[in-house]
Chains A and B, each alone.
Chain A
Amino acid sequence: MSTSIPADPTPKFAEYADGARLVSTDWVAEHAGDPGLVIVESDEDVLLYETGHIPGAVKVDWHTELNDSVTRDYVDGEGFAALMSAKGISREDTIVVYGDKSNWWAAYALWVFTLFGHEDVRLMDGGRSKWEGEGREMTTEKPQPQPTEYPVIDRDDSVIRAFLPDVRDSLGDLSLIDVRSPEEYSGERTHMPAYPEEGALRGGHIPGAKSMPWGKAANEDGTFKSAAELRALYTDEAGLGQSDEVIAYCRIGERSSHTWFVLKHLLGYSDVRNYDGSWTEWGNVVGVPIVTGSAPGEVPGR
């Protein structure tokens, strides 16, 4: 990355493939307010930012700001440029995203920003709860950013995003990783434990997909596990090995953004895509195969 904002020299990060994608809470405390650095909070709960946030941080909401409800897709280039301008973000700025639930939604925002090729987007390791738990300063004062001239950049869906035909046509040829809970994977349920039912007609997983619930990548305090621990989980246990191509999915593509970040930036897999249609799409489409039970299962002949 080529911006003037320095990387965080924390030794843990140096072990990752691209450790410059992470910064610590210490680093944020030290650099907040630096010109060229914008801190973004992105949470599951739309009201959490309003209860208090890192001083100077702006909010980006996944439901109301990153999605286009009419097209059932992400915003387009013009929509993204308008959003970035409203948040006071310039194309060459470094963005640090943090959020609730082990940075689950922060990773989703980072992934969407990456669809638009924003170069330098990082996560704050441990997210909101770590910052809060350390007793660091929080404020309810909202910044009033100056609009920027963010360019209109077409969203590039070809590199880090997968669609249903990509998955269907390559079953058995690439590594699929299912990051939902074991109960969703086996088909016992179609939604997360203690979460709302979100309308999939069938329970189970995509044939051949390996199970690795997303939350295993995080420690109790929401920080990412070490590079060695992550390799043990994904490369060995989930059997990704040296896979050239990996596609991650979950239910609507948000949990798998977290895993996408781990595989792409922390472990350095070269071709990782997020299938954001995920189970709400695959589970409902006529004529696509599924497997139930706790084993990956056989890929049906085509």
Chain B
Amino acid sequence: MAETDNAPKTDDLPNALAEIVTDFAETPADDRLQLLLELATDLPDLPEKYADHPELLEPVPECQSPIFLVTEVDGAEVGDRSIVHLHFSAPPEAPTTRGFAGILHEGLDGATAEVILGIPADLPLRLSMSEIVSPLRLRGMSGMLSRIQRQVSERIGKITAE
């Protein structure tokens, strides 16, 4: 599909995330839910150490369905250059929420702290889903992103947790 004036902005996103944004924009509206479902299906299971310790996960009450997330930072001492891993837990009966988590996982897992902290807050609005999913539901994804960014800041010592 040719680039149009309506193509969402991607030049301030890491490659993996920019690809997802472009994929959604280039997928016909009727098929976008299918794409979201594929991302929901591909969301990896929670590692066992967290499955056994749900208290280590942070709830995301902005989502309509229960979801929990946790970030891990490799080499926090290198600050912005440390590598971030994301883990999510969301039930199969909440596929939309799983799909949002899947986008963030595929787009951001393994990125540096600097990249993650630089993700713009309007990311959910760039996914060409406002009409098929509704803005209210997309707020759940904003909630996940802001919690990921806050956790990463805390872990590399940029802000202090309460």
Contact = CB atoms under 8 A, between A and B. Distances in A.
Interface stretch (B45-53, B109-117, B135-143): B135-143
Nearest to B40: A47
State which size class the interface on B falls in. 20 to 34
A45 B96 contact: yes
Interface in A38-57: 44-48, 50-51
A195 B64 contact: yes
B13 to A, nearest CB: 23
Contact of A47 (B59, B96, B136, B139): B96
Contacts of A63: 133-134, 136-137
Interface residues of A, number: 16
B15 interface: no
Contacts of A47: 33, 36-37, 40, 95-96, 99
A45 B34 contact: no
Contacts of A194: 59, 61, 66
Interface in B49-101: 59, 61-66, 92-97, 99
Interface of A: 44-48, 50-51, 63-64, 100, 129, 194-198
Given A46-B137, A47-B99, A63-B137, 15 more contacts: A45-B64, A45-B65, A46-B33, A47-B36, A47-B95, A47-B96, A50-B33, A63-B133, A63-B134, A63-B136, A129-B93, A194-B66, A195-B64, A196-B61, A196-B140
Interface of B: 33-34, 36-37, 40, 59, 61-66, 92-97, 99, 131-134, 136-137, 139-140, 143
